[in-house]
Chain A
């Protein structure tokens, strides 16, 4: 019997066209040299052209005052704020529409996707029609239409629609917002503690289930814990309940919180468009679980709800989640179309910068860097999820 021994060290490489290794090396060297050569050529041309046209370069413009009014800001902004601040505002606005958009699109998309399996024929057909319509019209066109709806079809300020303290008009949507004091911050802290408590409770009841076979209602108790601890925090902060109520002023709504019609148009347009794609993803995820799985679960005596929770959903989610995150990224990238309807998110700000300072490369590079970072983080999370959740095969 021959015993196992370690692999011998590699022989000297041969750089010859005939050897497999040699050819691979030659190809790669050629490829790298061509790419470097092409980049060098482009850079040389660019510098020459920029010199000739008097275009300056450099990122120093970021410290100069922006000089333009920005219509919607989460960060305090004055006319003398720098380009840095303007870009930061752009990023915040992108996130503002992306986060809310992703949540709403997921809810709507899941409902429509599940609705395709409804027992009701009308609901099934309507969901199908929704998906086919919104997927086959360009998002840019949809945004333009929603923009017109929110800036021209809605009533003007003088004839605004009012339900209680909610106002909707061409000027935007205003709603009551609590005056943010210590109490609210403590409530949020309490809520976070509640999440931790709910997680601990879930772990404990799982252990109990393993030991004795008794089931406890985890979801309801967890929810109660989160809400309860949030209330405790709020009470600890003196139970502030002052709401800033929007009031009808002469020219515009005062107090309260509001969002512009541009934001509304962008949000509704993105949500309805992306939800159509999410509905398709959810539907194909549900369809991917074969009938045999349902039957096996039924023949083992599992109820419909148990079968859904333990057998169908885990498998369906594995199929759903990768393309779902891809759609989330698409929604974020599509928010860049706001440049056409005047919502000041990142690409809009960059566009203004570009037109003002002529620093196309710098402005665009900032934008691309931000989006690339978001994409790479999401890709990394997705790969981690896939590796962990992948169904193990031979």
Chain B
């Protein structure tokens, strides 16, 4: 990572509490992400890793500190949030495709209504994205007619239609049957090879080793350790990291 370029995402002493029970879910997060960097965030459940990446596109609010995404401070400013959401694409664990629209309609929804792209142009671009994730032949099907892996690939294509600078992945393969995980990971690897900035919360260590520039380990709302994949997986420094790795690499 070059020191001259400004980070595309910067967490500066970010703290978050849950409003419902006051739980301190993110504690003093100080992180920088460079453009084109691919980062895997892992940790036990409840460690705040999903909450962390959901702050980037303002699906979660934070109370202390400052989060800057591509030069815009993410905070109460609604215009700022809109700007950020156009630059950041997100893929959910539960896909969240719109079941009442076809695959193609799912993809062109945002370009036509937010970016004001003419419909035909949006369709062409959408079909290109569908080709990219190798699912173009299902363009006119409805989401529930596809398998889980196919749906998730459509979800990735839908996020890509915004031409985002950053892609967030929140446990994209956790809801999939094992035989479908590979097809989604292949798409994500392809995306990585094309230079996309990616933040992935995932347990897929093979993916991390293949693609990630950095692995961040979180526990109880804090960044415990961050390192290159080789270093982290083979020589974890902190005993919490060691404990976690022994649990997930064991099976």
Contacts and interface: CB of A to CB of B under 8 A. Distances in A.
Contacts, number: 85
Interface string B105-126: 0000110111111111000000
Interface residues of A, number: 30
A306 interface: yes
A301 B98 contact: no
Contact of A299 (B85, B142, B145): B85
B109 A392 contact: no
B82 A209 contact: no
Given A295-B59, A296-B98, A315-B99, A211 B145 contact: no
B86 interface: yes
B114 A392 contact: no
Interface in A302-319: 302-303, 306, 310-311, 314-315, 318
B89 to A, nearest CB: 7
B251 interface: no
Contacts of B112: 209-210, 213
Given A214-B116, A299-B89, A310 B109 contact: yes
Contact of A300 (B110, B117, B118): B110
Contacts of B145: 392-394
Contacts of B88: 299
A293 B155 CA distance: 12
A213 B86 contact: no
Contacts of B90: 296, 299
Given A299-B89, A300-B85, A301-B162, A393 B96 contact: no
A162 interface: no
Main secondary structure of the interface of A (DSSP, over half): helix
B114 A302 contact: yes
Interface in A201-222: 209-215
A212 B113 contact: no
B80 to A, nearest CB: 13
A39 B96 CA distance: 55
B144 A213 contact: no
Contact of B92 (A214, A215, A295, A310): A295
B129 interface: no
B16 interface: no
Q: List the 4 shortest-distance A-B pairs measured between CB atoms, nearest first.
A: A210-B119, A296-B96, A392-B142, A213-B116
Interface of B: 57, 59, 82, 85-86, 88-90, 92, 94, 96-100, 109-110, 112-120, 141-142, 144-146, 158-159, 162
20 contacts: A210-B119, A295-B96, A296-B96, A297-B98, A299-B57, A299-B59, A300-B85, A300-B158, A301-B82, A301-B114, A301-B162, A302-B113, A302-B114, A310-B113, A314-B100, A315-B99, A391-B99, A391-B142, A394-B144, A394-B146
